[in-house]
C-alpha cells in the first residue's frame, strides 16, 4: 500500500528514531574509543536516566520543568558514572593490560544485573511515565509527539555540543589523544586514569540523557535499557567501533531500515532488518562504515 505521504511519513519517523538510536550508541562507542573496554551495563544507565526523569517531573519539578529535569537527570547519571568508574572500573586498569577485557566484561555484566535488580526491588515491575505537556507537532506530513520532537532536538544539540567539546576544547584534545595513544598521553603529563573517569562519566551520561529524553515516549521500567544495549551494539558494528560520525550515520540508517522494512516488507521482522544490515556490514566491511583497521603487536 504505497503512497507518497506514507513514504514521507515513514522516512521522517525513521530519521527521528535513528538520531535517538545514535545517542544511545554514542556512549558505548565513546567509552570504547578512550578506554578500549565495552560497558555492557550501558542500558542500565539509560534506565537510571529515565527513572530520575520520572521522579523529578512527577514528584519535584512538575511537568513544565521537564527540560530542567533532563539536565539534572543527565548530571545525576554523570556523577554516578564517576563513582562507578572510581569504585569498579579504575581498579581494572591497574591489572595487566591483557586481562582488562575479561575483567571489564565480568564487572559491567555484574553491574547490569545489580542495577536492574535494584530498580525492580525499589520500584517494582510496573511501568511509569513522567508524561508530557508538549503538544503533538506536525513535521512535514507526519504528526509527532511533542516529547519525541523535543528528544530529537535535544539529541541533535547534545551530539553537536559533544562534537564541539571534543574538537575545540583542551579537554577534548586530551580525550582525543587518549583515544589514539594512552601511553602517548601519559608521556605528555596527563593523568590518563582521570581522563578515563571523565570519559566514562560522559559516556554513561549520554545514555542517561537518552533515557531521560525518551522516558515519556518509551516509558519507564526496570528493563527499558535492554533495547538500548541491543540497538547500541548494532549501531557500533554498522558505524565502526570508536567512530562518532559512524554512530550518527549508522543510527539514522538503522532507523530508516527498520521503519521502511516494517512499513513496506513485513512488520513482524522489524528488529531483524537491522541485524541483516549488521551481517552485510560484517561481510563487506568488518570494521564498520567508519571504523579503522586495528594495529596489534
Partner 1 sequence: MRKFGLLLAAGLAAIGVSAQAQNIGIGLDIPLSAPGDAAGGQMIRRGAEIGIDMVNAAGGVLGKKLELFVTDSQSAPAMGVANYRRLVGENKVVAVTGFFHSSVALGINEVAKEMGVPTLAVQASASDITAKHYDIAFRTHAVDPVRVAAWMEFIKKKGFKKISIIAETTDYGIGLTDETIAQNKSGKAGLDIQKITFDNKATDFTPQLLQIKSFKPDLVLNIGVGTPVDLIMDQATTIGLLPTTPMLISYDAPTRPQYWQLHPKNGEGIYFIAYYSPKSPLSDLGQAFAKAYKEKYKEDPVYGALNGFGAIEILAQGLKAANSTDPKALIKALESGTFKSWPDAPVTFPRADGVYWHNWVPPVLIVHYTKPNQDWKEADIAVTYSKK
Residue nearer to partner 1 on the CB measure, 5 or 191:
5
Q: What are phi and psi of 132, to 5 degrees?
A: -150, 140
- Is 4 among the residues that bind partner 1 (CB under 8 A)? no
Stretch that binds partner 1, among 69-77, 174-182, 269-277, 278-286 (CB under 8 A): 269-277
- Cell numbers placing 189: 603529563
DSSP assignment letter at 96: -
Q: Write the binding mask 80 to 119 for partner 1: x where contact by CB under 8 A, - elsewhere.
A: ------------------------------------x---
Q: What are phi and psi of 173, to 5 degrees?
A: -65, -40
> How many chain residues bind partner 1 (CB under 8 A)?
45
Q: Write the binding mask 248 to 267 for partner 1: x where contact by CB under 8 A, - elsewhere.
A: ----------xxx-xx--xx
Q: How far is CA 22 from the centre of its chain?
A: 7
| 3-state class (DSSP) for residue 159 | helix
- Is 222 among the residues that bind partner 1 (CB under 8 A)? yes
CB of 3 to partner 1, least distance (A): 7
DSSP assignment letter at 191: -
Among 268, 283, 284, 297, binds partner 1 (CB under 8 A): 268
- Cell numbers placing 106: 565480568
Residue nearer to partner 1 on the CB measure, 110 or 161:
110
Q: What are phi and psi of 137, to 5 degrees?
A: -120, 150
**Rounded CA separation 202/185 (Å):** 19
- Is 139 among the residues that bind partner 1 (CB under 8 A)? no
CB of 126 to partner 1, least distance (A): 5
Stretch that binds partner 1, among 31-39, 107-115, 157-165, 213-221 (CB under 8 A): 213-221
Question: Among candidates 155, 255, 249, 205, which has minimal Cα distance to 39?
Answer: 205
DSSP of 260-292, one letter per residue?
Answer: HHHHHT-GGGHHHHHHHHHHHHHHH-TT-SS--
- Is 221 among the residues that bind partner 1 (CB under 8 A)? yes
- Site of interaction with partner 1 (CB under 8 A): 1, 3, 5-6, 9-10, 13-14, 17, 116, 120, 124-129, 131, 136, 142-145, 148, 217-219, 221-224, 226-227, 258-260, 262-263, 266-272
Amino acid at each position: 500500500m504505497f503512497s507518497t505521504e506514507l513514504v514521507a511519513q515513514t522516512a521522517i519517523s525513521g530519521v527521528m528514531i535513528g538520531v535517538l538510536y545514535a545517542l544511545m550508541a554514542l556512549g558505548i562507542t565513546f567509552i570504547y574509543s578512550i578506554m578500549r573496554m565495552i560497558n555492557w551495563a550501558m542500558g542500565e544507565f539509560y534506565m537510571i536516566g529515565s527513572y530520575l526523569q520520572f521522579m523529578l517531573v512527577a514528584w519535584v519539578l512538575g511537568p513544565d520543568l521537564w527540560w530542567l529535569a533532563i539536565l539534572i537527570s543527565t548530571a545525576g547519571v554523570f556523577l554516578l558514572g564517576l563513582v562507578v568508574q572510581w569504585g569498579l572500573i579504575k581498579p581494572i586498569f591497574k591489572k595487566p593490560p591483557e586481562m582488562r577485557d575479561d575483567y571489564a566484561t565480568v564487572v559491567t555484566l555484574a553491574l547490569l544485573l545489580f542495577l536492574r535488580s535494584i530498580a525492580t526491588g525499589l520500584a517494582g515491575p510496573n511501568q511509569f511515565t513522567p508524561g508530557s505537556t508538549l503538544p503533538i507537532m506536525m513535521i512535514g506530513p507526519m504528526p509527532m509527539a511533542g516529547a519525541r520532537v523535543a528528544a530529537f532536538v535535544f539529541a541533535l544539540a547534545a551530539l553537536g555540543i559533544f562534537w564541539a567539546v571534543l574538537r575545540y576544547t583542551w579537554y577534548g584534545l586530551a580525550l582525543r589523544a587518549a583515544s589514539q595513544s594512552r601511553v602517548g598521553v601519559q608521556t605528555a603529563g596527563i593523568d590518563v586514569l582521570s581522563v578515563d573517569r571523565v570519559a566514562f562519566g560522559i559516556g554513561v551520561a549520554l545514555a542517561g540523557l537518552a533515557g531521560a529524553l525518551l522516558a515519556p515516549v518509551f516509558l519507564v521500567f526496570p528493563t527499558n535499557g535492554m533495547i538500548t544495549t541491543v540497538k547500541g551494539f548494532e549501531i557500533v558494528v554498522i558505524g565502526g567501533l570508536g567512530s562518532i560520525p559512524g554512530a550518527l550515520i549508522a543510527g539514522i540508517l538503522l532507523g530508516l531500515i527498520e521503519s521502511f522494512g516494517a512499513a513496506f516488507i513485513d512488520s513482524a521482522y522489524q528488529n531483524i532488518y537491522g541485524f541483516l544490515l549488521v551481517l552485510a556490514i560484517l561481510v563487506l566491511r568488518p570494521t564498520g562504515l567508519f571504523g579503522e583497521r586495528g594495529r596489534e603487536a
